[in-house]
Structure formats: structure tokens, C-alpha cells
Structure 1
Amino acid sequence: MDKLVCVPDFEKEAHKLLDNNSLQYYKSGADDEITLQENKNAFKRWLIKPRMLRDVSNRTTKTMVLGKPVAFPLGLSPTAMQRLAHPNGECANAQAAASMGTIFILSTIATSSIEEVAGAAPNGRKWYQLYGRLANFQESSKHSDAMSGKIGSAFAYHDTLLDQSLTWKDVKWLKSVTKLPIIVKGIMTSEDAELACSFGVAGVFVSNHGARQIDTVNPTIDVLPEIVKQVKGRCEIYLDGGVTTGGDVFKAIALGANMVFAGRPFLWGLTVGGEAGAQKILQIFKDELDLMMALTGVSSMSELTSDFVTKDWKSHL
């Protein structure tokens, strides 16, 4: 693992180690995988505008998310079935996030229960991705019992449990039964960002779910500016999709995100080295972000504004 110095290095190594079914599940996108590639390409079309002769001798990557500090603005997005990559699965990634002072999000479709992850990383920041009608608990339920006896694909059965009638009124109901902050993930338009704000959510999560659901949908970084403009600071804004370098984190924060998340890079790290692999991925992101700050004249996240990025002129042709 010492010779692996960037996310693509870990990805190449993970491709050698994973069985084909697991690999295809982790790396695939919807349909022709156009958005899967464009999520990454779009970051390359945003160019950095460095400033010179600014004192960057004291830099910090720390920021605040939902009123609490994080060591740097890159966390772990919810990704399913992490024990396909490593026996410790989600627990290892949660431990890596905790050790680096950032946020881990547990997928509804996890291979570790909420209780297992909580026990593995008791002091870490842990969020939960909630789907309608699918439980993730150690205790037996009618759904888990049915799933254990179901013949065929677990994923196909999972699809039958998802409630396709969910609407914004369900966000209102959820707010009425919990004191936890509610974040709506999958926001890709200013119209939905406005609706989310009107329902009083704590945050909107700009995401096309790793380009796994709809192909030819916009890359997330390209829709971020319009959502930031619409929200006007009424709630926090997070982003994932195509994030593979500290420079990508830099650009997303500059365009108005409060926090950035990545999914697949941590599957590659987990595959290669378990908790240590995921931790090294986090360290790579942090080191790349810190170097970018030093070279562009940025000392803190609060200084990082849209003045530091511009759209590639070729992208307007």
C-alpha cells in the first residue's frame, strides 16, 4: 500500500483483488454510463484561479457541519454492501472516518447493522441514509425474515420494499417524529432545492447517486452553483459524484458546498487495506486539499469562494 499515492492507484489495485461480480457492482453506472464519466469530467472543466503573495503559513482544513467541527470537508458517502470489499465492511470505513475526524454515512443497503457500526466507531460522526420501508437493525423484522427466505436476488427483493409513493409530505411527517436533522439527498434542481428549504430541512445533498440511477443526468458539480444561488444560505449544502482528488473538494467548496463526500474511492481503499486503506484514502484527499490551498493562497475554508474557480472556456462552445 506504500506505493499507492492517489485514488486511481487504489482503484487499479482493487480491480485486481475483487471478484468480478463485486467489481462490476461497485464500479458500474446506469445504462451507457455517460453520467458516470461526466461526473469526473465536469470537475476538469472547472479551472482554478490562484492568488499570489498571500500568507498561507498557517492553514487549516477544519470546517463546521451542522454546528459541529470536522477536521476537513470530505466525508464518506453511503455505499452499499461494503463487506463485498472487506470482511469488516462498513465498520472499517466508519472507523477510518472517525480516526480522521470526518463524517461517515451508513447506507440503508449495508452489510453491517446500525448497532455494529455504532459499536465500531462510538466517537465518530455517523449519519444514516434512510430509504422508505427498508429496515437495517439487528432485531428480526417481518422484512428481514422474508428477505432471508427469499429465493432469488436480494437486490430485486430490496426493490420491492421501497415505497414509490413518497412525496414531500413525508419529509414533513419525518420532521414531526424526530429531533434529528434531516438532509434530503438527490437534489439536482433549484426547484427541488427550494421545496426542501420550504419544508425546513437542515441540508440538501446534491447527488445523482454515483450515476447509478439515471444516465445523461447533469454532473453534480455543474448544478451546484444554481442550487447554492437558490438556497441563499437557508440550509447547508453537500455534494458527491465524481470526487476523486483534493482539487475536486477545493472546487466544490469554492462553488458553495459546505461539505463534500465521496463513495467509490473508499470502496477501493477498503478492498486494498481495510480500515488502513480507507484511512490512507482520506489522508490523500486531505494532503491534496492542503497543497491546493497553499498554492492558491487560501488559508481556511471560509476564504474559499467562487473567486477561485472559473468555467473552462471550451465548455461553452
Structure 2
Amino acid sequence: MMRLNAIYCVKAQGEEMDFKAIEHITEYRLTWDEFTSIPEDQRAAVAVASYAVSEINALSRLYLFAVQEMTGNPVIDGAVFIQANVLLRAVSSKVFEFTQLINLKDKHNKTNDPIVKKIFSDAEVAFQELKNREGFQLAQAIRNEASNHYRLKPARSNMKGLAEQARLSFCMHRMSGNSYHPLGEEFMFIARLNRAGQKAETKEDKLKLHSEWFEWNIDAVRWVNGVFRELMKEIVLKKFPSKRAVKVPHWINPKLVGEVDDHKAPIFLRTHNWSRKLAS
């Protein structure tokens, strides 16, 4: 069962009670005058970093809800696998975009602000440890070849990693959002994993490779959140030492909260007028 802090709340006397869940959210809110008093480049750094962290955390949360148990039906399992990996690849690609921000080499990321430069420089040193970890080279290759870009050259290279037993099929559905194509996943993602692990001779070895990629992404997300916390501490919290965050309970529909063990994202979409006859 879903473990929630919840009670029945009466909307008005005589009306049926509504079931509500409670979430305590701590909000640190700046006024316009406070925000504009922060130096421009520091404001920009906090803004971009908070935007990036929000995206990465949202994708990470969606990924956890998208990971389903395999059914044993290879056709359905193809959809399960694709949905989860699309989100994990998106998380990974966002992390690499964040590294482009902190290295300050892009012409659009130039700054002379000493605080921003110090925080980003320290973050880049910390990222070097991640670059030396198992999984980094594969994460980078997947980001370059199988996440943000659709290119013919990687596809040609992946031919050498395509397994003979690969499921080379196209799965189509009346609703386009339910269509998926295992051939593409086998070719652009699985074959890329196989290329990276050419010395791996067993299925277990290749599963280990996938696990290293997954674990690297988890630690990289922690690193991104750590960089953001440092920006907040040095740029915002130190500037307004007497300001405090406020923890507020929010009563919401229980459908908006859930635990990953109890709630999973569906693989197939149905609309209110869906029928088996129309879908066949």
C-alpha cells in the first residue's frame, strides 16, 4: 500500500469528504529586490543551475516510475525496455550538458565573476573523479551517439555490435504514441553497449556493463545537485544570512504522490473512448 500522510477533509458542512495527501515543501523565496541585488553573472549561474537541476531531478523521478518488471513476453518487454532507457539516456545527456556549463569554455558561458569561477572550477575537479570511474566512457559515447543526436555514422559503426539474435522488428499500434520499434533500440543502443564491451563474452558481462552505466549516472546526478547546493550557499544564503526557508504543508490529491513500488508508469496509453474493437 502507498504510505502517505493523509486525512479526510470536509469541504463544507453536509458535503462528502475529500481524501487528501499532505506533502511538506520547504520554500526559500527571494523578493525581486533581493534577487536583483545579486551580481548579474551570479544570478545567471544560479538561474541556469536551478533550471538544470529541476530538469535532471524530474527526469530521474520519472525514470524510477518507468522501470517495470519484465513480463517474459519479448514483444511487450521491448516497450518496457525502451520507455525506461529513453528516460535514463535523457538524464545522462542533461548531466553532460551541465558539464559544458561548469567548464566555462563555451563562448556563451564566459564570466569573470570570481565566485562563479571558483565554484565551477571546484565542480570540474570533482567531475574528474567521475570521469575516471567505470561507466564514464560508455555514458559519454551513448550521450554522443544515442541520446541527443540522430546520425548515420554511429549507426554504421554499430553494425559490428549487433547481435544475430537481436529483435529486428517494428511494433505499430493504432495510437501512434503506443508504437515502438525494437530494431532502433537494438541498433543504436544495445549494439553500442556491445561495441563498448567487445571483450565481454557472456550475457552477464554485458549486463554488468549496463549496470556500470546506470550507477555512473546515479552518481553524476548527485554531483549536479551538489554543485547547485554550493551555488546556493555561496551566492544566495551567505548574502541573506538572516533569511529563512519556510516549510509549508500542502494538501493535494493522492494521485499526485506515490511510491515506486506501488506506482509505475503505464507502457500503453488508452483514451476514454478506446475500445478493443477499434484498437484491433
Scaled by the length of structure 1, the TM-score of the pair is 0.24
Which is greater in Rg? 2
Richer in strand (by share): 1
Scaled by the length of structure 2, the TM-score of the pair is 0.27
